[in-house]
C-alpha cells in the first residue's frame, strides 16, 4: 500500500467543510489535541474511528487514508481485453460506463490510465455519434496530460506525450501535435540495445533474448507503417511501385502474414486499393484474394504470435505490457471487413468481375461461420 496521506487529507477535508478541530473532535469523541496531532502527522486516528471520520466528511475510507490502489501489468492487459470485448458486444454507452467505474477505482494507477487512453482512442471511431467519439478522445487526452504531469515513470510519460500527439492528429490539429513532439528528428540513443547487452553480460541470456524479440516486433510494426507512409508521400509513380515491391518483400522475409495477421491484412487491402485506383484489375483482385485468405483463418490464429524464429515473442510482449491480443476486438475488426470491400467505391469497377463477386461471397461465408461459431 502507498504511504498514508491521512494528515493532509484530514486538514483539506476539514477546511473544505468549514469546521473547526473542536467540531471534528466532538463528532468522533476525542480531544482537540488529538485532531491537531492527526493533521500534523504526529499520530494516526485509531482504526475504529476511520468509518466515523469518513462519514463525517462524506468520503470513502480509501479516500480518507489516501489509499491509491495499483494494478500489475498483466492485470491491466486482462482488463483491456475484457473492455475491448465489451465495446464489441455490448451497447457503446454500457461499455464506456463500466470502464469509467474502473477508472474511478484505479485513478492513481498511471499505467492503467494509459491503457484506458489507448482503449478510448481505438474505440472512439465506433461511437454512435460524433459527439460521443469526441468525448472519448477528450478523456483519452486528459489521461495523457495527467500521466505527463503526475507520473514518475519517464518512459510512460514519453508514451503518453506521443499518444496525446496522435489524438491531436485524429482531431485534425497537426500544429498542436508538432508543439508536443517538436519539428526536428533526433538521432536515437540505443538504450534498448544497451539494456540487452547488460542482461547478456550478467549471464541473463534468456531475458536478453525475450527483450530483443519484443523490440524487434515493435520495430517490424513501425517499419510496416513507415513504408506505407513513404509510398503515400512519394510523388513519382515508379517510386510508389518500388515502395510496394519492397513492402511485399519485407512482409515475406519476416513471415508477417503469420506473425501479425491483422496488420498484414490492412497492408493487403492497401495494396488492393492502390491498384484499384489505377484500374489495374489483375493486381487489385490478387491482393483482395490475399486479404480474403487471411479473413478465412480460424479466430485463434487472428492474434499476434511467434514462430520458429520468434519463439519468445508472445512472452516478450506480455512482459512489455502489450500482450498478444489485437488493439481492437477481432469482432469489431471483422465487422468492418465486408463494407471495406463490398461497399468501397474504389472497387466498383470490379462489380461485374466474377472473381470479385466470389471474394465478397467468401468474406460473407467466413464472417457467418465466425458469427455462428462453426
The per-residue pLDDT of the chain, averaged, comes to 88
pLDDT tens, position by position, 291-315: 999 888 766 556 777 888 988 887 8
Quick one: 6-65 is in which CATH superfamily? lambda repressor-like DNA-binding domains (1.10.260.40)
Q: What cell numbers appear for 117 in the block?
A: 487512453
**Sequence spans of domains, the chain:** 6-65, 73-181, 191-371
Q: Say how far apart CA 119 and CA 203 lie, in whole Å.
A: 38
Helix and strand numbers (H, E) in the chain are 21, 0
Q: What angle do CA 371, 372, 374 make, to 5 degrees?
A: 115
How high is the pLDDT of residue 321? 63
E runs forming strands in the chain: none
87: nearest Cα among 340, 294, 297, 335: 335
281: nearest Cα among 203, 359, 209, 222: 359
Least confident residue range of 169-173, 179-183, 276-280: 179-183
3-class SS of residue 363: helix
Which phi and psi angles does 79 have, rounded to 5°? -65, -40
Measured distance between the N- and C-terminal CA atoms of the chain, rounded to whole angstroms: 47
The answer to whether 366 and 289 have CB atoms below 8 angstroms apart is no
Greatest C-alpha distance within the chain: 89
pLDDT at 201 over 90: yes
Q: Which of 98-107, 201-210, 325-334 has the highest mean pLDDT?
A: 201-210
256 or 370, higher pLDDT = 256
- pTM of the model as a whole: 0.71
Q: Say how far apart CA 95 and CA 100 lie, in whole Å.
A: 9
Confidence of residue 1 (pLDDT cuts 50, 70, 90): very low
Altogether, the residues listed in the chain come to a count of 374
Confidence of residue 374 (pLDDT cuts 50, 70, 90): very low
Confidence of residue 356 (pLDDT cuts 50, 70, 90): very high
Amino acid at each position: 500500500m502507498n504511504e498514508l496521506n491521512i494528515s493532509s487529507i484530514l486538514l483539506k477535508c476539514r477546511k473544505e467543510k468549514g469546521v473547526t478541530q473542536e467540531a471534528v473532535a466532538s463528532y468522533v469523541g476525542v480531544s482537540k489535541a488529538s485532531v491537531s496531532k492527526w493533521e500534523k502527522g504526529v499520530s494516526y486516528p485509531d482504526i475504529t474511528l476511520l468509518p466515523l471520520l469518513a462519514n463525517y466528511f462524506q468520503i470513502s475510507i480509501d479516500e480518507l487514508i489516501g489509499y491509491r490502489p495499483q494494478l500489475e501489468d498483466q492485470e491491466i492487459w486482462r482488463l483491456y481485453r475484457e473492455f475491448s470485448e465489451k465495446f464489441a458486444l455490448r451497447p457503446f454507452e454500457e461499455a464506456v460506463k463500466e470502464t469509467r467505474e474502473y477508472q474511478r477505482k484505479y485513478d492513481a494507477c498511471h499505467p492503467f490510465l494509459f491503457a484506458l487512453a489507448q482503449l478510448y482512442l481505438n474505440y472512439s471511431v465506433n461511437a454512435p455519434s460524433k459527439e460521443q467519439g469526441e468525448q472519448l478522445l477528450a478523456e483519452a487526452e486528459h489521461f495523457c496530460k495527467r500521466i505527463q504531469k503526475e507520473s514518475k515513470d519517464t518512459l510512460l510519460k514519453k508514451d503518453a506525450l506521443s499518444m496525446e500527439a496522435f489524438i491531436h492528429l485524429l482531431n485534425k490539429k497537426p500544429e498542436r501535435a508538432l508543439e508536443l513532439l517538436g519539428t526536428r528528428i533526433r538521432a536515437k540513443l540505443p538504450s534498448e540495445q544497451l539494456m540487452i547487452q547488460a542482461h547478456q553480460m550478467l549471464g541473463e541470456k534468456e531475458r536478453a533474448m525475450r527483450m530483443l524479440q519484443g523490440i524487434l516486433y515493435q520495430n517490424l510494426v513501425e517499419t510496416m507503417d513507415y513504408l506505407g507512409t513513404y509510398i503515400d508521400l512519394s510523388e513519382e509513380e515508379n517510386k510508389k511501385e518500388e515502395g510496394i515491391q519492397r513492402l511485399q518483400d519485407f512482409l515475406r522475409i519476416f513471415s508477417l502474414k503469420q506473425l501479425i495477421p491483422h496488420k498484414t491484412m490492412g497492408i493487403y487491402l492497401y495494396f488492393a486499393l492502390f491498384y484499384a485506383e489505377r484500374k489495374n484489375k489483375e493486381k487489385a483482385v490478387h491482393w483482395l484474394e490475399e486479404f480474403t485468405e487471411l479473413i478465412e483463418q480460424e479466430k485463434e490464429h487472428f492474434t499476434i504470435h511467434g514462430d520458429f524464429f520468434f519463439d519468445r515473442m508472445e512472452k516478450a510482449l506480455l512482459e512489455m505490457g502489450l500482450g498478444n491480443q489485437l488493439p481492437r476486438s477481432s469482432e469489431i475488426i471483422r465487422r468492418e471487413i465486408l463494407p471495406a470491400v463490398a461497399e468501397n467505391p474504389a472497387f466498383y469497377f470490379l462489380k461485374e468481375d466474377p472473381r470479385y463477386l466470389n471474394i465478397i461471397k467468401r468474406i460473407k461465408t467466413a464472417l457467418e461461420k465466425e458469427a455462428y461459431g462453426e
